[in-house]
Every structure is written in C-alpha cells, then in structure tokens.
Chain A
Amino acid sequence: MTRESNLGISAPRIDGYIKVTGRAKYITDLSRPGMLYGKILFSDRPHARIIHIDTSAAQSMPGVHAVITSTDTPNILYGLYLRDRLIFAKGKVRHIGEPIAAVAAESENIALQALQKIQVTYEDLPAVFDPFEALKPDAPIIHPDVESYQGIYPFIKYGNVCMDAEVNHGDIVKGFAEADVIVEGTYHTSAIHQSSIEPHACLAEFDHWHRLTVWTGTQQLTLCHQELASALGLPMTKVRVIPAWLGGGFGGKLKSLFEQICALLAIKSDRPVKIELTREEEFICTHARGPQTIYIKTGAKKDGTLVAREVRVVADMGGYSDHALGMATHAITFASGVYAIPNVRGHALAVYTNNPDWGCMRGYGGSEITFAGESQLDLLAEKLSIDPADLRLKNLYKDGDTFITTQKMDCVNIHDTMQAALQTSGYRKKKGQLAPNHGIGIANSILNTGFLSSSVVLRANPDGTVSLLTSVTDLGTGNLTALCQIVAEALGLPFDKIGVASQDSDSSPYDTGSIASRTVFDAGNAIILAAVDIIHQLIKLAALAFECDEEDVIYEEGAAFRKSQPEIVRSFAELVSDALFVSGGPLIGRGATLANPPHKHEIGRGFAERPAGTFTFATHVAEVYVDPETGSVCVTNYTAAHDVGKVINTDGIEGQVEGGVIQGLGWALYEELVYPQGKIINPNFVDYKIPTALDTPPIIDIFIEKPALRGPFGAKGMSEPPMVPPMAAISNAIFDACGAHVQTIPINLERLYNALHPGNKSD
C-alpha cells in the first residue's frame, strides 16, 4: 500500500479552523482575574539628561498599584549583539520613545492619567540625527561608555560607532585596476515599520509555584525567556514564558521588548499586569527597520565580466544597537549579491544617533544591499550596452564557488530561477518592446537559511498519534503546519496523526526561534533526528515482539514487519503500547541541531559571521507603468521565481511569496517612517500606508525544486527571501520605463517626480 506523501501538498493549517472562527487566542485576547493595565511613559526628548523623576503624584492616585522607574530595576545591561541597554532610561534618554517609567493601574484610563502626573525634569543635550553627522569628531557622544560594552563579538567601537567591520575577498585594488568600466553611487533605504496587525502585548503574573509567568507573542520563545531572566537578574527556572498565536511578526517581535517592564509591574503590584500597545506606540517604540546608506562601486570588463566591488554601509542604529547592527553585517556579507566577483570589500559602520531605537525586519540587510547592488547593475548594463539579464547571467555564482565569508557554496540554483523567471515573465519578448512609460525590470537575490540551534522532542502517544514539542512559534507563516508535515513524513504516518504540544518555556525545548527563514530548515532537521531516534526504538520493540533479530525488522509507512515474514506486522500504535506496557518505557524521540558552527578563523576585521546552513536564491521580474506627469507608479505584472529545495506546503509557500512581494512593493513605492529631529510624525495607518487590496498586481510564483543538501527532505527556508528582490526589480522596471534611476526607496511620487522633472529637486 503506498501512502500519499505528506509533503508538497496544501496540508490544512493546524490553526486554520480556530482562526476562521475567531477561536484562536492571541495575547491581546487574554485577561486574568484582578488584572491591572500597564502603561509606559516614553521619552519625548531625543537626547537629554534626566535630572529628576517625580512619581509621587502618580503613586498616590487611587487605582494606581505600581509606578516603576530605573530605580526599581536591576542595573543590568542587556542586548543581543551588544549589551548597551537598560530596561528604563537611567541618567539620560537617547531617543524619543525610550521607556522612562511605567504604571500599573485598575484601568487603562487611570494608568494614562497617572503617566501624565509623572514629572520628568530634563536638561536637553545636543542631539544628532544623521549618522554621517554622528561620525564627525565634534558630534555629541551618545554612549560615552561604548568601548566597555560587552557583546557576542569583540566589535571595534569608538565615538558613536558601535561596530566598525570589514570583510575582504580577493584584492579590490587589483580588481578595479583591471576594470574597463566602473560605476559608483550611493543608495539609501528608508526606515519602515513591520506593521503586524496585532499590536505588541504581554501579560505577567506569578503562577501557582510563585514563579514569574509571562504570556507574550514572541518570535523567539527561548530567547525571550533567556533575555527576560537575564535583564531581571533571575535564574531561568524562576521565569516562565508562554506564547500564544502571533498576529504577525516580520522581525518586529524578536526575543523580548516590554516583557521586562510588564514583569516588574507584576512583581511590584503583586497582581497580574497586561500591557498592550496602541498603534501609535507600535510605530514609535517597537524597533522598526532601521535605515541604511550604501555606497557601492562595481567594476567590469568590456564583455560584462564583473571584476571588483566595494560596498560601504552606514547603518543608523538610533539610540541603541540591537538588530540594526546585525542588518549592517548582513549587508556586507551579501555585498557581491549572487555574482562570483573575484575581488570584493565590504565595510560597515553601525552608528548611534538620537533617532528611534531601530531594529530589523524580513530580509535583514539582504534587502538593503540587494536594492543597491541590483539597481546599480542596470546602470552598468546600460554603460556596457549589454542587456541587464545577460549581464547577470554571465556572472552568476555556481556550485563550488567561494562565498565572501570563505564558505564553499553548493546548491546554487540562481541559474534556474533566472531562466524560469525570464521565460515565464516573457522578459525577452517584452524588453524594449513595451508601450511608452511601461518598463520591465529584473533583480536577483541570495539569502542564508539554516542558522543556529533547534531541538525538538517527539512524544509517541498510545493512540498512534505523535506530539511535537517545540519552541518554534508560528507568526502566521504556517511553519508549525509544515513541521507537522515533516514529522508525519519522517515517521511514515498520516498528517492528521501529528499535533503540536502546548508551548511553554518550561517544557518546550531550546530553539533559536522563528527568525532568519530558519524553522523549516533547522527544526525540520531536528525533527528528522528525533524521528530516527524513535524508529530505532520501534525496531527494538518490534524485534522483541517478533522474537527475531533487529536486522530482520523493517519499519516503514507507520508499521514494522519481519523481512523474512512480511505478513507479521505491528503498527506504530501497537509498538507504542508495547513500549508502555511490555518493555522499554514510554517512547520519546529527541533531536538537536546546530546548523552552522562558527568559522575557525577571522573572515574580516572586527566582524564575525557564521557560514550559512545553505543559501537560497531568487529572481523577480516586475513590470510597471509610470505616469510621466505625476511620477505615480503602477506595478502591472510580477513574476517571482524561488529556489526552495522542496515545497513542504503549497498554499503556505505561495502565501510567503505573495505576502513578501507585496511588503516589498510597499517599501519600493511608499512605505517610509518620517522622523524629523528623531520624532516619528507618521505613526498611524493613514500617514504610514501599507498596501491594501487595491494595490496588488497579479503575481506568478515559480518554485525551483532541487533538493538542498542538509535540508530536511531537501527543503530550504522560504519566509524572508520574497522580500529581498522586489525593491530592486521595481526600481529597475521604473528605470526601464522612464530612465529615472532613483537611489532612495521608497521611490514615492515626490522622488520620482523630482527625478523626472530635474530643477524641482528637493530630496
């Protein structure tokens, strides 16, 4: 009997029914008896000394149960790349939106009134909002202690620079000397907001063991647990984190954010406390994607062979470093794009300013450098009189090439995504043949998948079902459904026999979390190891039951049988019962992976990047119409070809591509946080527009399925890659349509109008 595969199908989402009926619970839906409402007082100054905080009037208000400031917190610096932050501002504030104090009260209204009664006396300090200004010797210093900050790597730090890093490959001096043509330019990517429709929320109380319990919607359950305990100075055994369904994440709900404040309010008031951000607070203080300025210079031979590239990235951190620093390292790691350029130098400066505390988002530095690099290639193609597609095809990476981090590359399928995208989009027929003001553009991209650690436990149940214990949370991508499919396939069981166990940092095993397009790859690999662990045990149990040698037992398709007497069969469920009642003990499978141990040697200066688990490639082709009068752009057609290794869930992977492309379209054309003097002035969906159903072109998804080495059943990760090429593909289509090469995204009406009407230029 052949079983239908559990992979490559649209297996129904495990959370589908509860989500279409409104039954799915998110943190915002939770409440507890006696619960108080927490509100945070955010700094309204970009850079100021805190002379005094008077909370007495707030403390004495009826209905207020706790008011906390930095004096109520353990004085422990924390942070991911660099430990440069405290829970509340202490001594001074470094950006607008920095937490200063918090209140827990019986209603949100009382809490808000109490916030207004907190008197903060400031002394304004000179502030700096432009990272290039912040690099000047006379700039105000935002973190005087930067050199003493500890981090995951001994970064080179000085002045307002919290990371000065360089990576080298070949010899760029020699490379540019060999070039016949050189193009150079500076590109800028604006700050954008993840804009999950569910705002950040968390709820803290003590459990029946008097341990601190925090419910929160986090992309990284384990890291949230770890960072929360560390910031509070508590052992991880005294802190418990429970996630719920996440209403989107996109890099905006990493590790911890306000969980520490919520927890401290619960400790001080000895009551459950819930914090739920308003949409305005979401925009102002939740670590939006930071801006980058990228200088890029590329040299080529007359025939289009790329010989050298230099990239210099200046990344604005805002007041604290966090993931904006990681995005800067990624931007130089992917400096050469998908091209085998023999001589490359990438240099990144992560610079503190008094802008908001920036974070990261889907595409993590890869989107930024891809916009710069792929846009510039079209200028180069024009200079060389070579079609942009041909220039690209001539220089693609192939298996065996050495990546900039010295990693030997394999599973390089960029040639396939390019050919598929060119053919399906009709690029060759359309290029140069479209009606006036219509254009077509192409962009390639590379991203890593497979990153750090995952572990899972598979618990076999006596009814023949299997529970998956994992800390991987589902932001909406459907990764938990895909992981259940992988469990089913690995154990030869039907998909509906697999369930996900309740998630709780007490019992869910360690996982780096739902970031970096890693969960299907890494947790998927851990699942395969756990399934093998279970199968070994099943074979032992079957050999005992059959009274034969283990070598005489085969397990497949959910049952064990004797090789020499195939009619003697014990099903998975029977074997699990054998384990419970006859021998062996309850059946548990354990799998743990570390995708990418660090390089054994330095790969640059002041810099550390792990090798990728594997790389994933994509080619996008956009078609646009540009209104020459107004500069308005309509994307009319879109083709997205992705190198995915193996499709696990068809609906799921298509949804990732379509959603990622549209997020990219929003950034390409209109999404931008505006923050004069460090204050975000468009903190709502009227002034910060995200795409609606009226804004989306038809999208053709193409999946190249060439099984990836090291990927579970050959799969590569697929959540972030679709947001990497769209900005460049659309920018190149605009260039093709009207000859305007706009070097800042979003290419909004104003920027394109000014590019089309030089003389009116204001940007």
Chain B
Amino acid sequence: MEQNIILNINDHDYLVKVEPDEVLVDVLRFKVGLTGTKKGCGTGDCGACTVILDGRIVDSCLILAVSVEGKKIITIEGLEKKGKLHPIQQAFLDHGAVQCGYCTPGLILATKALLDVNPHPAEGEIRIGISGNLCRCTGYTKIIEAVKAAGELLDRGAQ
C-alpha cells in the first residue's frame, strides 16, 4: 500500500507517495523527477545510481525509499549552486572525464564522498574510491586526473 513519506533531497523536503517495496532510484527518477541519477543494472553492480546518503555513497537501486526518511540525500542535481558548477563538476569537464555521461553523476558523487573525508587522496585511494562505479567509455584515466584536479580546486577554495 502506498504511503506518504518526506525525503530530504539536496536540502529540500519532498512529500512523495511510495510503495513499501519501491527503491530509491525509481522514486528519485520518476516520482521526484530528478532523472540525473541513472539506473544501469538495478543490482548494485554498476554504480550509476550512486547518491550520497548522510555523507556516504550508496547504490540507490538497493535502498528502499521508505527506509531513508529523515536522512540527507544528495543527488547530482544538488551540486551546482546558483548557476556555478561544483569544482568536481568543473574538473570533470576540464579534464575530458565525460564521454557518454551515463556513469558521470555517480562518479561525481563518489568523488565528492571521497574528497569530503579525504581531501588529498593518493592515486590508489582514488582508484579504490571510484572502483564501485563502472565506466565503459573512458578507461578511467581522465576520470582519475579529474579527481586529482578537483582535490586541488577544492583546496584553493573554489567553493
């Protein structure tokens, strides 16, 4: 049976009606209308549906929407502020880290969660930090460059 819940997404409260078995990715995409979060496998293997939940990355295809009431959810739509790209978004653009773009929102959020707790990751830590996010286009080289550059941009207080 559908029930009303309040989801805090990108610092806004949304009142949504969900089925108890609905997963967060579907609710974000088609009930809230935030289609920036992608669905690539539905089984937690590809990371396209990555969102940040209370500071940690999760595969939103494995999370029941009813279970995250009262938690803070950050999606890709929450990063750009007042028309200014988040430094991670800017770094992905500047370093050619985007090709088809389907994995990009998840990778940008995985990067944010990593840099939030580890502002100066070594390359190995970057690789581990994004290893749950599959990208079939880039071969990761430019993504890793972008993550390094984003760390430097954030250091310089770009935002």
Binary CB contact string for chain A from 10 to 28 against chain B (1 if under 8 A, 0 otherwise):
1011011111111111101
Question: Is the Cβ of A21 less than 8 Å from the Cβ of B79?
Answer: yes
Question: Is the Cβ of A198 less than 8 Å from the Cβ of B140?
Answer: no
Cα(A478)–Cα(B134), bound, Å: 19
Cα(A196)–Cα(B43), bound, Å: 16
Question: Is the Cβ of A20 less than 8 Å from the Cβ of B104?
Answer: yes
Q: A324 on the interface (CB 8 Å rule)?
A: no
Q: B8 on the interface (CB 8 Å rule)?
A: no
Question: Is the Cβ of A693 less than 8 Å from the Cβ of B143?
Answer: yes
**Nearest CB on A from B19, distance (A):** 10
Q: B142 on the interface (CB 8 Å rule)?
A: yes
Question: Is the Cβ of A28 less than 8 Å from the Cβ of B39?
Answer: yes
Binary CB contact string for chain B from 30 to 67 against chain A (1 if under 8 A, 0 otherwise):
10001111111111011010000000000000000000
Neighbour of B29 across the interface among A18, A29, A686, A696, CB < 8 A = A29
Neighbour of B45 across the interface among A23, A198, A686, A691, CB < 8 A = A686
Question: Is the Cβ of A195 less than 8 Å from the Cβ of B99?
Answer: no
Q: A342 on the interface (CB 8 Å rule)?
A: no
From B35, B39, B93, B102, residue with most partner A Cβ within 10 Å: B102
Cα(A196)–Cα(B40), bound, Å: 9
Q: A401 on the interface (CB 8 Å rule)?
A: no
**B131-151 residues at the A interface, CB under 8 angstroms:** 131-144
Q: A476 on the interface (CB 8 Å rule)?
A: yes
Cα(A686)–Cα(B43), bound, Å: 9
User: Which size class do A's interface residues fall under?
Assistant: 35 or more
Within 8 Å CB of A690, what residues of B? 134, 136
Q: A736 on the interface (CB 8 Å rule)?
A: no
Question: Is the Cβ of A13 less than 8 Å from the Cβ of B93?
Answer: yes
**Nearest CB on A from B56, distance (A):** 18
Q: A246 on the interface (CB 8 Å rule)?
A: yes
Q: Is the interface of A mostly helix, strand, loop or mixed?
A: loop
Given contacts A21-B80, A693-B140, A696-B141, contact A651 B96 (CB under 8 A): yes
Given contacts A10-B96, A29-B29, contact A197 B140 (CB under 8 A): no
Question: Is the Cβ of A279 less than 8 Å from the Cβ of B40?
Answer: yes
Q: A290 on the interface (CB 8 Å rule)?
A: no
Within 8 Å CB of A195, what residues of B? 136
**A694-722 residues at the B interface, CB under 8 angstroms:** 694, 696, 698-699
Cα(A23)–Cα(B108), bound, Å: 14
**B69-112 residues at the A interface, CB under 8 angstroms:** 75-77, 79-80, 85, 89-90, 92-93, 95-96, 98-105, 108
Binary CB contact string for chain A from 186 to 229 against chain B (1 if under 8 A, 0 otherwise):
00000000111111000000000000000000000000000000
Of all A-B residue pairs in the complex, the 10 with the closest CB atoms, nearest first, are A22-B36, A476-B100, A651-B96, A247-B102, A19-B101, A662-B139, A22-B76, A658-B139, A685-B45, A476-B99
Sample (14) of A-B pairs whose CB atoms are under 8 Å apart:
A16-B93, A22-B77, A31-B30, A196-B136, A197-B102, A197-B134, A198-B100, A247-B40, A477-B99, A655-B139, A663-B136, A684-B45, A685-B45, A691-B139
Task: Contacts A12-B93, A198-B40 known; list 18 others, CB within 8 Å.
Answer: A19-B104, A20-B90, A21-B36, A26-B38, A197-B38, A197-B100, A197-B103, A198-B100, A199-B39, A245-B101, A250-B136, A655-B137, A655-B139, A663-B139, A685-B46, A685-B134, A693-B133, A694-B127
State the A residues within 8 Å of B (CB). 10, 12-13, 15-26, 28-29, 31, 194-199, 245-250, 278-279, 475-478, 651-652, 654-655, 658-663, 684-686, 690-694, 696, 698-699
